[in-house]
Every structure is written in structure tokens, then in C-alpha cells.
Amino acid sequence: MKQKRFFLEESQIPRQWYNILADLPEKPAPMLNPKTRQPVTVEELSTIFCTECSKQELNTTDRWIDIPQPVLEKYAYYRSTPLVRAYGLEEALGTPAHIYFKNESVSPIGSHKLNSALPQAYYCKQEGATNVTTETGAGQWGTALAYAAKVFGLEAAVYQVKLTYEQKPYRRSMMQVFGAQVTPSPSMSTRAGKDILTANPNHQGSLGTAISEAVELAQMTPGCKYALGSTMNHVSLHQTIIGLEAEKQMEMAGEYPDTVIACFGGGSNFGGIAFPFLRHNLSGERHTRFIAAEPESCPKLTKGRFEYDFGDEAGYTPLIPMYTLGHDFTPSNIHAGGLRYHGAGAIVSQLIKDGLMEGMDIAQTEAFDASVLFAKAEGIIPAPESGHAIAAAVREALECKRTGREATILFNLSGTGLVDMPSYDQYLRGNLINFKYEP
Ligand SMILES: *Cc1c(COP(=O)(O)O)cnc(C)c1O
């Protein structure tokens, strides 16, 4: 079984991120301040986020944004990530398609999330902050921010949903190893947490309670900024490092993708791999298809409504024009925790509305079928989230087999599954069930 991997020399690693907002034919409607219903300003955003990220969030004019040198130095710890020709998977499927994957699971924390945590922590430090805070559900984003904070000399306080704090201890341990203070939410450390616990002492926590606590901490503590790991424009911007590298690596392989696929939670790894390739569609040179693989239990892209909604359950973020199942939607308890999110980033939502990208719904068991097939063929155990992208790639490769088409498929492997083995256990015992959302 062959496996061919492509790497970039340090000198070839991109030094700028790609801001697709500058190139969009139809720009997303502005984010609104929920109180005034007026477009949000950099000043308003920077009361909780760092100023540089607030500027990037609203920047619709600069196509390329420089990656700061200290961030490039930290990227170099694990970048370039390999682009891999998946000969093993092709053979297992008997497909004439050429399948490639970009392996973001090799980052120090095991997922793509570090690509945005590093610049966010860096900018906070530059602007004089001493602390960063955030919320985390399953723990991937919290782990990324904990490590990035340590790297740039900041203290990190992470509010983790109480239920996962107790049920999934390994990511909590990882955050603590990197030196973060991890608090199960709701907690007695904030006004919001106290109010929730007073009303319901046994509250098990939710992303909503954790966000409320993190935002309160950022607003009440001098020198403390809040950071988010998905959905926002500046997060996808940082993630374009994935697609920009992949573009050069595909060139080394002498190919160009006909189809680009990634799993979809709030859209950061999907936007990250897709936007750099999409720019060649926008200029008319290419006609690549872009598929966002979402769980059928949380199908905002195919079954959601396009409207203004909050980015978070608690209603703290600006109102964002997006595909959403409603910010009060409670997703089923699937194992792909990173995909249990009610909405979709504004840019991807606009692109889907305009027919430039598409969503595809994947059942939980189909994602695990594909992950196990992939693990046997390529020797990597994927995150349950990434399994959705693999399943979509498998569907496309089998369609090529049926029609005899030799298409080139590229997907993003967003993370490793090595801390998610209990979910594989359940799959192997036949205990996994599907939850299909019906509107
Ligand atoms: C968080 C996460 C996702 C989903 O987030 P996006 O912003 O949609 O990329 C997917 N895969 C992994 C491994 C994650 O940690």
C-alpha cells in the first residue's frame, strides 16, 4: 500500500492569509448590534474581542492580510501540514478518483483550531492583555487556546460545560497540562453562573452558560479578552492557511481539485480549505465544487432558515445573517461535538445562498463507517467531526466509480480521534444511533 505525502519548505509557507470578503460578488449583510439594530463597529466588537480581530472581522477591502512574524514562527512548529495522496483509500474503494487529504490532525493539540488560537493569543498579548478567556464544549477549542496562551505568555481561563468536564476528562487534562484554569460551568465565579445555580443547583451546563460566564469575565476583568474558535469571519481568515498551503501542495502533485470537502460546525475548517480555491472560481478560471459535510442531526445548511440570528445560545454576539436552526436549537447528543452548532458563519451562508457552495448531510453511523475504513486504509484514526468529511469524500469517490470519472477529490482531515476512543467503542459495539432532524 503506497502513501505519498507533500510538504512545503519553510520558505514556501504562506506569509499572508486570504480575506475572501474582498473578492465576494455579493457581500454578506452587516452584523447588527442586537440592541440598536445598527451595523456593529470595531469599537463595539473590541469591548470583548481584541482590536485586531475586531478589525479583521469587518475588513471587506484588503484581500491579503500579513501573518505576524511571531505567529509564523509558532506555525513552523507543525506547518506545513502534510497533503497526502490517499492511495490506500482509493484502493479500498476501487475508485478511479484521485483522493487527497490535508492532515491538520498533526498540530500539537490535534486539530486545525490552533491555526486561529495562535494569532488570537498573539494579538491579545500585543495589545497589552494579560488574560484570555473562552468557553468550550467538548474541549477542542479550549485546548487550542490554552496552548496558544501559554506560548505567548498569557493566562487562560476556560469555562467548560459541566457535563463534558465530568464525562470527557482527557481534554480537560490537556488544558490543565498547558496551564489553563478550567472551570466547570455554571460556576459560582461569575454573576451569570451564580444566578443559574441559584435557580437550579443541579444545572449540567451548556455552551450558553459557559459563554455567558466567559463574556462576563472578559467584560469585568481589566486586561482580559474573549476569543472564539469558529463562525466568525476572522477565524476563517486565519484558517485559510490550510487552503493556501494545499493549493501549493496540489501543484507539487501536478493536480487541481474538482471537489473540495470539509466537515462543518461553524465553518472555520471548511472556509479555511475552501476559500483559497474558491477565489479561482470567482475569477472564472476554475469550476471546483465545494461540499460542507454537516451532521443530519444538525443540518443548518440544508434545512435551516437564512435569517439574522445570534452566533451563540446566550445571545451575546452580534446578530449574524446566516443559515440557522435557531440559537435556542438543542442538537442531539452525537459524538461529533464540534459539529453540534446551530448556525453557520456569514460568509459561507452567503456563498451557499448564492449557489457557490453546497451542504451535504451525513448520518452519524455513516461518518463512523467511513472513519473506520479510512483508519484501516491510511493508518490514522480521525476525529468524529472529520469522519463527516471522509464520508462525503467516499460518496463522491463511489459516484466516480459508478460513472468511471477520474475526478480529483480533496478533503480536510480536521483532527485526530485519539481522545475520542470511547465513541469508537460505542460504534464497534453497535450502540450508535442516528438522529435525523425533521423541521
Ligand atoms: C471544532 C472542530 C470542528 C468544527 O469546527 P469548524 O469551525 O466548523 O471547523 C471540526 N473538526 C474538529 C476536529 C474540531 O475540533
Locate the ligand 1 atom nearest the alpha carbon of residue 385 and give its number.
11
pLDDT of residue 330: 79
CA distance 344 to 341: 8
* Distance from residue 106's CA to the centre of ligand 1 (Å): 14
* Distance from residue 111's CA to the centre of ligand 1 (Å): 8
Q: Which segments in the chain show pLDDT lower than 70?
A: 1-2
* Distance from residue 336's CA to the centre of ligand 1 (Å): 9
Please report, for residues 297, 344, 384, the alpha-carbon distance to residue 264 in angstroms, rounded to integers and kept in the order given.
12, 8, 12
Kindly report the protein residue whose alpha carbon is nearest to atom 8 of ligand 1: 265
The preferred substitution site among 102, 111, 171 for testing ligand 1, maximizing ligand atoms within 8 Å of CB, is 111
Kindly report the protein residue whose alpha carbon is nearest to atom 13 of ligand 1: 415
C-alpha cell at 132: 484570555
* Distance from residue 130's CA to the centre of ligand 1 (Å): 27
pLDDT of residue 40: 97
* Distance from residue 267's CA to the centre of ligand 1 (Å): 8
Return the H-helix or E-strand segment holding 291.
strand 289-295
| Cα three-residue angle 338-299-162, rounded to 5 degrees | 35
* Distance from residue 208's CA to the centre of ligand 1 (Å): 18
pLDDT of residue 329: 84
Kindly report the protein residue whose alpha carbon is nearest to atom 1 of ligand 1: 338
| Nearest of 88, 100, 400 to residue 250 by alpha carbon | 100
> Ligand 1 — pocket residues by CB below 6 A?
111, 113, 140, 230, 263-270, 338-339, 383, 385-386, 414-415
Locate the ligand 1 atom nearest the alpha carbon of residue 140 and give its number.
15
| Cα three-residue angle 298-293-146, rounded to 5 degrees | 80
pLDDT of residue 167: 82
Do the strands 289-295 and 358-362 form a parallel or antiparallel pair, or are they unpaired?
Answer: parallel
* Distance from residue 141's CA to the centre of ligand 1 (Å): 9
Locate the ligand 1 atom nearest the alpha carbon of residue 270 and give its number.
9
Q: What is the helix, strand, coil percentage profile of the chain, to 5?
A: 45, 20, 40
pLDDT of residue 1: 53
Biggest CA pair distance of the chain: 63
CA distance 434 to 334: 8
Locate the ligand 1 atom nearest the alpha carbon of residue 239 and give its number.
9
CA distance 207 to 136: 7
pLDDT of residue 144: 98
Class of residue 14 by CB neighbours under 10 A (exposed 0-12, middle 13-18, buried 19+): buried
| Nearest of 161, 157, 152 to residue 132 by alpha carbon | 157
* Distance from residue 25's CA to the centre of ligand 1 (Å): 27
State the DSSP code for 50. Answer: -
